[in-house]
Structure 1
Amino acid sequence: MTEATAVLNPPPEGANADWTIPQDWAHYTPAEHAVWDTLFARQAKLLPGRASDAYLRGLDVLKLSKPGIPDFEELSDRLMALTGWQVVAVPGLVPDDVFFDHLANRRFVAGNFIRRPDQLDYLQEPDVFHDVFGHVPMLADPVFADYMAAYGRGGQRALGLGALKQLSRLYWYTVEFGLIAEPDGLRIYGSGIVSSAAESVFALDDPSPNRIGFDLKRVMRTEYRIDDFQQNYFVIPSFDELLRVTVETDFAPLYAEILAQPDIPIAAILPEDEVITRGTQEYARAKGGAQIV
């Protein structure tokens, strides 16, 4: 999600009440456009045969291969015609209530800055490449676009039920780091994977992580970390099923049940899990952090 709980209200100087700011596309330097082009070219070589069909279609239909950082107004025009979404610029991480309101109203918030050339492989705070290249192509898919709006509405409810941490795990393990089972095998669609050269390979090819069939309650009980490769990936059977589960579930009693149960440690395998790949945890052990039960 946004890791926004530490961000303080009100909006910073120069931002609107909803935290949006002008993208100011003209302010990008040739060097900043070159960073986008370098990142785009690298991922464009990696993703065919790895990314989901929906992601690759979105990348094509939104014309993100055009050189340079995309202009949000042009991008929003194309996206609005497809699924009713638009991309709005924000100065950085935004508060949770602001984030959910934008999603519920089909506005995707994106940072308007781009990483430096020495940060190509990792950046802690999401930049325009992660936000636009990673997230926006999936918003061109009608079913996933509906899922994101439903998530925004669910987030507004979760704030009042004290279950934000649990719901944030759903975002993390789907929108950010989700896998999908397609006829030709597992594919990536999560933005944290498709925007990362290293994790685009690790998520599908490395023997270390677990790949587990998606279960809503299981996902919302499972811890995660933000600063390294994932050791659990959850695999959805389809975007239709992800949307169906999201809109048909009564989350209030589910939250009550989950909040009464312990969290599930990273890398754990439960007896009831649908284990697609049981990970070796070699990577996690090498980093000194595996938690296996």
Structure 2
Amino acid sequence: MAQMTLERPEGAAEDWTIPQDWDAYSPAEHAMWDRLFERQAKMLPDRVVPEFMDGLDMLRMTKPGIPDFEELSERLMKATGWQVVAVPGLVPDRLFFEHLANRRFVAGRFIRTPEQIDYLQEPDIFHDVFGHVPLLANPVFADYMQAYGEGGLRADGMGAIDHLARLYWYTVEFGLIRQNDALKLYGAGIVSSYGESIYALDSASPNRIGFDLKRLMRTKYRIDDYQQSYFVIDSFEDLLKRTVETDFAPLYRELEAESDIEVDALLAQDKIYTRGTQSYARAQAANA
């Protein structure tokens, strides 16, 4: 997700894009991509939505290692009209929304080091490309991402970005979906993380709650560890429909008058798939 107060790095264009410079990647960087790709592609098939696995073929390039954004964008354009553009890192909110609204997905060009293989706070090219791009090849999810960008531009003018950011976090980054009476992964922050790909479905610790737009947009989230609550959608079609058909202006006014909900809270009206024990979060807090 984007940040609000940032200065444009030297060498970046007005829209903060930079050349990917694929030829500058080292053999070690390509090897890190291949290592991460193989690990996730091997463990995800029974955990992730089939739509993600279908889109994963987009990342199998003619050149080895890290995908070349030029070739990747050609493939995506043919599928759903999207392209991938390189940026130095996090970008300002409004530019982030503008890129999404115009079917451009911004991706950092750097890749994590071996010491960071299981965790880094700023998203790298593996998170951005492996995590996000496969579902951009799905027409319905691709439309949702564009609609989110358009909604972000409207929210920017209403001072409501904080609430809208929660929608991105709990769907695009850390969303679960119910398919054929089973929970599956689709959020990029989960599917690009080996540990959270297991935790999000198998751990008794987190809450798993049925999607409710207003409730979700009142809920805080964690940026420093596994999530304490996940929201479960019924389908990508339903997610897109609710987003497109909702008049967000009165919703934002309602949200301003209501308090935030803590990350581990359950409410009486929640549709609860899993009442989490919160054992993981408590153990982490005790060891801090």
TM-score, normalized by length of structure 2? 0.97
> How far off its partner does 1:64 sit?
5.8
Give 3-state SS (helix, strand or coil) of 2:178's partner: strand
Aligned twin of 1:269: 266
**In the alignment, is the contact (CA less than 8 A) between 2:59 and 2:130 conserved in 1?**
no
Q: Tell me what 1:104 maps to.
A: 101
Which of 195, 209, 214 is 1:212 aligned to? 209
Displacement of 1:255 after TM fit?
A: 0.4
Q: Distance in 2 between matches of 1:49 and 1:56?
A: 10
- Residues 12-91 of structure 1 correspond to what in structure 2 (within 5 A)? 12-63=9-60, 67-91=64-88
Indicate how the Cα distance of structure 1 residues 128 and 65 shifts in structure 2: closer, same or farther if over 3 A, else same: farther
Give the aligned partner of residue 227 of structure 1: 224
- 2:157 counterpart residue number: 160
- The whole-number CA distance in structure 2 between the counterparts of 1:62 and 1:83 is 15
Deviation per CA, 1:56-89: give whole Å up to 9, x if none.
1100244369730000000000000000000000
Residue 114 of structure 1 corresponds to 111
Contact 2:61 / 2:71 at 8 angstroms: preserved in 1?
Answer: no
Question: What's 1:5 paired with?
Answer: 4
Answer yes or no: is the 8 Å Cα contact 1:59–1:65 preserved in 2. no
Alpha-carbon distance between aligned partners in 1 of 2:219 and 2:181, rounded to the nearest angstrom: 28
1:5 Cα deviation (Å)? 1.9
After TM superposition, the runs of 4+ consecutive aligned structure 1 residues lying more than 4 A away are: none
Residue type at the aligned position of 2:4: T
- Equivalent AA in structure 2 for residue 67 of structure 1: P
In 2, the alpha carbon distance for the partners of 1:231 and 1:15 equals: 37
Separation (CA, whole Å) in 2 of partners of 1:163 and 1:200:
30
* TM-score normalised to structure 1 length: 0.95
Counterpart among 127, 134, 140 of residue 143 in structure 1: 140
- Listed one character per residue, the Cα deviations across residues 144-199 of structure 1 (whole Å, up to 9, x for unaligned) are 00000000000001111111100000000000000000115110000000000000
Cα distance in 2 for residues equivalent to 1:65 and 1:152: 31
Distance in 1 (alpha carbons) for counterparts of 2:61 and 2:49: 16
Going from structure 1 to structure 2, the CA distance change for 1:251 and 1:64 (only over 3 Å counts) comes to farther
Task: Answer whether contact 2:160 2:252 (CA < 8 A) is retained.
Answer: yes
For the residue of structure 2 that corresponds to 1:161, the secondary structure is coil
Any stretches of 5+ residues in structure 2 without a counterpart? none
Q: Is the contact between residue 62 and residue 79 of structure 1 (CA under 8 Å) also seen in structure 2? A: no
Equivalent residue pairs, number: 286
Q: Name which of structure 1's ranges 142-151 and 45-54 shifts more when overlaid on structure 2.
A: 45-54
In angstroms, what is the RMSD of aligned CA positions? Answer: 1.2
Whether the 8 Å contact between 2:109 and 2:125 is mirrored in structure 1 is yes
Identity of aligned residues (%): 69
